[in-house]
Amino acid sequence: MAIASKLENYLHQREIEYQLVTHSHSEYSMETAAKAHVHGDALVKGVLAKDDDGYLLVVLPADYHIELESLHKLLGQEVAMVSEATLAEVFNDCELGAVPPIGMTYGIKTMWDPKSSLGKQDEVFFEAADHQCLVRMSGVQFHELMAPAERGEFSHHI
């Protein structure tokens, strides 16, 4: 599969320079980091949730966990993780669980935690659409892509 067509088009339209990095098949973000020889704080993951307004893509480093209670307080409403069936429906050009963290590509409200290590990376990596390929880009270009995303503190390092 390599890269999701929606993601590829989105990056191309914004003239983002990136490379694809392959690795052996992995299931979880920290396993992906290990197999791709990438630090967990440079591997960006997207976690799909739902609130009263609809879907929300929560973006954080692979070595961070979401604090649902903090997210609830920040948004002033209940937040819940979505089912695998919903994940497959929303990201229908990706393998199940290989969610690119650029929610704007899919018209999804996106939020990231600025206290996380993402703001300090020279380069970042994230799922391209399957469990064997990552997108690698500069931290500067990642920040440009994330400019429309909402920010808030809702995670902690593991």
What is 5-20+31-157's CATH number?
A: 3.90.960.10
| Mean pLDDT of successive 10-residue stretches along the chain, which has 158 residues | 91 97 93 93 95 95 94 95 95 94 96 81 95 96 94 92
Cα 87–chain centre separation = 13
pLDDT, position 155: 93
Q: Of the candidates 140, 147, 131, which has an alpha carbon nearest to the alpha carbon of residue 59?
A: 147
C-alpha to C-alpha distance for 155 and 63, rounded to whole angstroms: 10
Q: What is the pLDDT of residue 72?
A: 94
Predicted TM-score of the model (pTM): 0.94
Determine how many CB atoms are found less than 10 A away from the CB of residue 14: 12
| Tally of CB atoms within 10 A around 136 | 17
Domain limits of the chain? 5-20+31-157
